[in-house]
Structures are given as structure tokens and as C-alpha cells.
DNA sequence: GGAATATAATTGACACGTCAATCATTTCCG
DNA sequence: CGGAAATGATTGACGTGTCAATTATATTCC
């Protein structure tokens, strides 16, 4: 209680910045996602999955590897693959050599959708993110992200981590 | 094609920064939300609603005003109030003077939950956001947010806005 | 070999968000 | 007045995310 670091709470100004920061990044994410969806019919989740499969050997990946690649929980991926399967963007196959495994396989339709999406998506990132900042600010964004990420990883992000 | 501004697409480095930035802010948001939930049983949505009601005259607000205050769509608020009502955090009443209106009223239980939540929530914001950055970086975060927000508002965030 | 355990993936229940109806009341105006 | 349009709010359908089981196969080790 003695050793409590400077202000237990954020100052008014810090709080204002926090709210602004989190709301703005949220709006940015939503705007990019909306553009992607309207221009290609893909959600950002779809895009991540298709990107990973496109870059994978033979357009196929074991479910758990795919989850690790894009940083998703297993059950989230499972639900999402179910929806993508229903839409014909991917196909599920049994994993040869390990019968409990499953592989997600890129379909022609999935590959086509991904290719239709990529150019407009990159353009949206440039227009809404890069073009809104000076080069110095883009650099600052990178440093900010790195600092926050390091801090999160060390200081424990989760709820149960302390 | 001649007049195309500097790189139609983000550079490799810009793209790396974009991904890092968006993933990190997402992880930060998730971490703060998880802390809030585990420490108080409230979601960030609950918190926003309770904050607005707490600050309102008599702990009550007309539904549409509440939506405007916290920047939500009406239907989103309606769904959320339904869930909060079921949990006893707020109560719905008819709006005197305009029978199509509805008011959300803070219950004792809602007020108590909010008060239990606020200190740990502010602490989490300090620990996970403010403490992860130098004072200069906090300032940079504010400027970044302002720049991105301005750009989003002018350059059209939505999908249909061009 | 065969039970205990670990691993891979799916499932179900539920919270949350968006969009497009829908319903009720009020307001506008001829 | 009375019907058309505007306004306030809710609802339903569906995509998405999390958590806690559950199912199925592999591995381990006695």
C-alpha cells in the first residue's frame, strides 16, 4: 500500500485517451470488415482462414495447425469451418495417419473468393489506415502495438492470470 | 493509372504494422473485458449502459437517448436491455407523455453491480493500457486515435459510403 | 493387452451484434 | 377529422465468439 505506484487510477486525460483509442480502433476494424464483406462477401474470419489455406501446402491444413496459424481457439475454428463448409468455401476431410484429426481443404470456390477479395481488401487497408496517418504515425502505431503486446504478455492479459 | 497515388497497396512493412496493430488492440480490448467480467460479472456493454444510467437524472433514460449517449444502434440496445432486465440490472418502464417510448431505469442491483465494477475496471485500464506505455506513448495513442477518427469520418468508414 | 490418460475435434448453450421486418403511437396535413 | 408518413422500440433470423461438455482416437505404462 506504501509501494503503490503513481495513481492507482488513470487520470481523467488518460481515461479520455483510452476511450478514444479503443473506440476508434474498433470503428476502424468495423469499417475494414464492412468493406471486405460488401466487396467480396467474405468476413474477416473467412479471409483469415482462406489466407492461411492459400499459403499452405496443397491448400490444406490440419484443423489444429490452422487454428494455431491464425491464433484461434479450436472451437471457434470448428464453428467457423462448419459455416464455411456449408457455403462451399472449404471442405473437410479426414486426416490420413491420425483418425482423430480433420483437415480443412480449400475449394475452387474458396480460392476464387479469396482472390476476388484480396485486392480490394489491401486497398481498404491503405485507404482507411495508412492514408489516415503520416509515415511517422504509422511507425508510432507499430511501436505502440509492440509495447502494448509486450506488456500484455508479461503483465497477464487474461482474467485468471494473476 | 498514371495519376495513381503512391503505392496502391500498403507495403509489406505497413501491412505488418496493420496486422500487429489491429490484433494487439483487439487483444487489449479482450483482456480488459475479461477482467471486468471476472471481477464484476459485467460485460463492457453492461458497464456502458450502467455508467450512462448512473450519470443520468434519476437513474433513468429514455431508450433512444441512452442509445445516443453510448453510441449504439437501437436494436442492439433493445436486445441488450432485454438481457439486463432479465438479470435484474435495469427495469423497463413506459415513457410518460409518449406512449411509444420506453425508459430504462437503474435498479438497486444494477447500481450496486456498477459500483462494485468501477474500481477494478479503472485499475485494469491503468494496468493494461497506461502502464504499458510511456507518457509520450500515451500521448501518441491519443493523436493516433484522433487522426484515424478524422480520416474515417471524412473518407467514409462504411461499406456503402462511397 | 488393456485401463488410464492425453489429444483432436465437435457440439450445445448462451452472449453479443447487425440487418431487415414489424408493431404501436404520434405527427402532419389536406 | 382521418389517412399517410414519421418516429420509437421490439422482434426474428442469422453470423459470430466463448465456455464447458462430449466424442473419438492415440498414447502410455503397468
- Note the pLDDT tens digit of each residue in A87-120: 999 999 999 989 999 999 999 999 999 999 999 9
Chain A residues within 8 A of B38 when measuring between CB atoms: 159-160
Please provide the average confidence, as pLDDT, over all residues in chain B.
92
Chain B residues within 8 A of A28 when measuring between CB atoms: 22, 148, 152, 157
| Cα distance between residue A82 and residue A78, in whole Å | 6
Give the closest-approach CA distance of A97 to chain B in angstroms: 34
> What local confidence, expressed as pLDDT, does residue B153 receive?
87
Side-chain half-sphere exposure of A156, counting CA atoms within 13 A: 8
- For residue B100, is pLDDT > 60? yes
User: Looking at residues B28-37, what average pLDDT do you find?
Assistant: 94
B131 touches strand C (CB under 7 A): no
CA of A97 to C1' of C5 (A): 21
Residue A1 or B91, more confident: B91
User: Grid coordinates standing for B6?
Assistant: 503512391
Residue B161 or A143, more confident: A143
E-assigned strands of A15-150?
A: 60-62, 90-94, 102-106
> What local confidence, expressed as pLDDT, does residue B161 receive?
38
Domains of chain B: 28-152 (1.10.10.10)
B70 touches strand C (CB under 7 A): no
CB atoms under 10 Å from CB of B10, counted, come to 21
User: Grid coordinates standing for B28?
Assistant: 487489449
Report residue B154's pLDDT band, with 50, 70 and 90 as the boundaries.
confident
Contact by Cβ (8 Å): B96, A123: no
Range in A51-60, A63-72, B3-12, B36-45 the model is least confident about: B3-12
Please provide the distance, in angstroms rounded to a whole number, between the alpha carbons at the two ends of chain A: 18
Amino acid at each position: 500500500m506504501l509501494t503503490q505506484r503513481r495513481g492507482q487510477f488513470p487520470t481523467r486525460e488518460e481515461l479520455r485517451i483510452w476511450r478514444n483509442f479503443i473506440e476508434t480502433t474498433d470503428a476502424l476494424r468495423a469499417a475494414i470488415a464492412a468493406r471486405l464483406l460488401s466487396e467480396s462477401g467474405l468476413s474477416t474470419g473467412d479471409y483469415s482462414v482462406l489466407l492461411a489455406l492459400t499459403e499452405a501446402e496443397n491448400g490444406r491444413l490440419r484443423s489444429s495447425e490452422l487454428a494455431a496459424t491464425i491464433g484461434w481457439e479450436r472451437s471457434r475454428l470448428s464453428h467457423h469451418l462448419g459455416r464455411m463448409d456449408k457455403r462451399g468455401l472449404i471442405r473437410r476431410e479426414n486426416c490420413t495417419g491420425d483418425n482423430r484429426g480433420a483437415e480443412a481443404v480449400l475449394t475452387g470456390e474458396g480460392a476464387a473468393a479469396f482472390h476476388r477479395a484480396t485486392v480490394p481488401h489491401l486497398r481498404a487497408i491503405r485507404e482507411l489506415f495508412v492514408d489516415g496517418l503520416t509515415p511517422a504515425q504509422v511507425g508510432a502505431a507499430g511501436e505502440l502495438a509492440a509495447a502494448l503486446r509486450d506488456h500484455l504478455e508479461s503483465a497477464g492479459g487474461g482474467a485468471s492470470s494473476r
